[in-house]
Amino acid sequence: VNSFTGDLRFSATAARARHSAIADLMVRALVRPGTLSLAAGFTDNAVLPVSIVRDALAHMPAGGGCLQYGSNQGRPTLREAIAAHIGSQHGERPDAVGADGIVMTNGSQQALYLLAQVLCNPGDIVLVESPTYFVVFDVLAGLGIEAVELPMDAAGQVDVAGTGELFERLRAEGRLERVKMAYFITYFSNPSAVSMTEGVKRALGSLVAQHVPWLVTIEDTAYRDLYFSRPYPAASMLSLGEWTGLPLVQTGSFSKCFSPGIRLGFFATNVPALVEKTMCVKGQQDFGSANISQWIAEFAMTRGLFDPFVAGLRVHYQAKAKALDDALGAGGLKALGWRWEMPEGGLMLWLKGPTGLDTGMTGAFCRACMDSEVLYVPGDFCYANAASAPRCNVRLSIGAPPVEDLREAARRFALAAQTVLRG
């Protein structure tokens, strides 16, 4: 076999590339097949839209069109359906966004990557919540962009006054001009399960208008549809008056609320130039997302199949969240000083361990969990600033494991917590 074993001359992009932390965790799970993972962000195989997908392919557009190239921006009817869906959600203006302002992407991940590419040069700054979705750090680091944490309050909301002070500090340091984007997960966040209140959104809009009117604010709504009992009572920024005239992007995904395997997401924006610029770069990368995936989503949304499907997911994941919540409680964690809340939507439970506990990868608790064959995401992965990250938190996902595995995983987790406490 012809194999090359010399040294290649890689680019600066390659030099910045790093393996994602979650990928390493997944590898550990593969190495020990008995391990139960509460770490992976997968959804539940038991509730994938198998029959909808088959129906969609049975009703392909004439001429097999969804097996042909599509457009770079994405199927117009799908984009119209998404615009209508956004406009129909709790508290939204019906015309919050138009189909022209929507670009279909390979998961919302690609939306984030493209937006960072067209807005940021190496050395620029993106503001993030703490904690936030840790994959964002890989995206930003890969493009040479600095992630700067926003101050948060005890309820897990962005501290608006503190953010104003941050802007002042960045201005004094001559760094404010480098702040190009802010990234918020505003509904049932990964990892914290917290939703941003409408009051905080409005206050942030006023603050951005005052300090950084060029800032492109990205509102990630990947989990918005996955509420349990009721929609979270806050409109998206696109519908809030305080944000009028400010550049906004809303990202969404079919991964969590439909099927990760069709690899389809989108962004919606009120900035035509962002559509234009990202489409140029997307054209360089792939010419447009898979037409077959777009057709499946379009079929589901336009035939009235999407809403009932998501309604079923809500019941399913609420039951799973409750099962994990109950099992953690039954494991005696609260008596050991652990604190968490039953989430109101999404796929995550966010646990705060007792003061002084180190949940990091190198700590005794993580080793105890590995020994007990249960995986979690260490909370410190979810903070931009590793040095100041709290090291007592844990992200648990209810996505993939069936209820019985959630219960067993909770049992093992609680066992590890007790083992470590006994020292």
Q: Which residues contact 349 (CB under 8 A, 6 or more apart)?
A: 193, 321, 324, 325, 328, 340, 342, 343, 395, 396, 397, 398
Kindly state whether residue 401 participates in binding a second copy, applying the rule CB under 8 A. Answer: no
For a second copy, the binding residues in 245-284 under the rule CB under 8 A are 245-248, 255, 259-264, 270-274, 277, 280-281, 283-284
Closer residue to a second copy in complex, CB, 348/357: 348
Token reading at 371 = 């020994």
Q: How far is the CB of 241 from a second copy (least distance, A)?
A: 8
Kindly state whether residue 93 participates in binding a second copy, applying the rule CB under 8 A. Answer: yes
CA 272/CA 350 separation, integer angstroms: 37
Kindly state whether residue 375 participates in binding a second copy, applying the rule CB under 8 A. Answer: no
Exposure b/e, 204-233, CB count within 10 A at least 16 = b:
bbebbeebbeebbbbbbbbbbbbbbeeebe
Kindly state whether residue 305 participates in binding a second copy, applying the rule CB under 8 A. Answer: no
For a second copy, the binding residues in 214-233 under the rule CB under 8 A are 214, 216
Peptide bond into 131 cis (omega under 30): yes
Q: How far is the CB of 327 from a second copy (least distance, A)?
A: 23
What are the phi and psi torsion angles at 17 (to 5°)? Answer: -70, 140
Q: How far is the CB of 342 from a second copy (least distance, A)?
A: 26
CA 266/CA 252 separation, integer angstroms: 5
Q: How far is the CB of 63 from a second copy (least distance, A)?
A: 4
For a second copy, the binding residues in 154-213 under the rule CB under 8 A are 180, 213
Kindly state whether residue 291 participates in binding a second copy, applying the rule CB under 8 A. Answer: yes
Which of 35, 37, 106, 397 binds a second copy (CB under 8 A)? It is 106
Q: How far is the CB of 8 from a second copy (least distance, A)?
A: 6
Kindly state whether residue 1 participates in binding a second copy, applying the rule CB under 8 A. Answer: yes
Closer residue to a second copy in complex, CB, 264/417: 264
Closer residue to a second copy in complex, CB, 199/283: 283
Can you name the residues that pair with 98 across neighbouring β-strands? none
Query: What is the total count of residues that contact a second copy (CB under 8 A)?
Result: 101
CB atoms within 10 A of CB 171: 14
For a second copy, the binding residues in 25-84 under the rule CB under 8 A are 41-43, 45-46, 48-50, 53-54, 57-58, 60, 63-70, 72
Q: How far is the CB of 289 from a second copy (least distance, A)?
A: 7
Q: How far is the CB of 139 from a second copy (least distance, A)?
A: 5
Length of the chain: 423
Kindly state whether residue 398 participates in binding a second copy, applying the rule CB under 8 A. Answer: no
CA 283/CA 31 separation, integer angstroms: 38
CA 110/CA 417 separation, integer angstroms: 38
Which of 210, 244, 385, 388 binds a second copy (CB under 8 A)? It is 244
For a second copy, the binding residues in 108-127 under the rule CB under 8 A are 109-110, 113, 117-121, 124
> In this chain, which stretch among 11-19, 192-200, 389-397, 413-421 interacts with a second copy, using CB under 8 A?
11-19
For a second copy, the binding residues in 311-330 under the rule CB under 8 A are none
Q: How far is the CB of 178 from a second copy (least distance, A)?
A: 10
CA 376/CA 393 separation, integer angstroms: 10
Closer residue to a second copy in complex, CB, 138/220: 138
> In this chain, which stretch among 2-10, 225-233, 318-326, 360-368 interacts with a second copy, using CB under 8 A?
2-10
What stretches of 278-414 adopt beta strand conformation (E)? 348-352, 374-375, 377-378, 393-397
CA 43/CA 192 separation, integer angstroms: 17
Pairing of β 393-397 and β 102-105: unpaired
Q: How far is the CB of 90 from a second copy (least distance, A)?
A: 17
CA 46/CA 407 separation, integer angstroms: 17
CA 402/CA 51 separation, integer angstroms: 20
Report CA 133 to chain centroid distance, whole Å. Answer: 5
Closer residue to a second copy in complex, CB, 114/392: 114
Closer residue to a second copy in complex, CB, 116/417: 116
CA 279/CA 418 separation, integer angstroms: 52
Which DSSP state fits 423?
A: -
Single-letter amino acid, residue 172: A
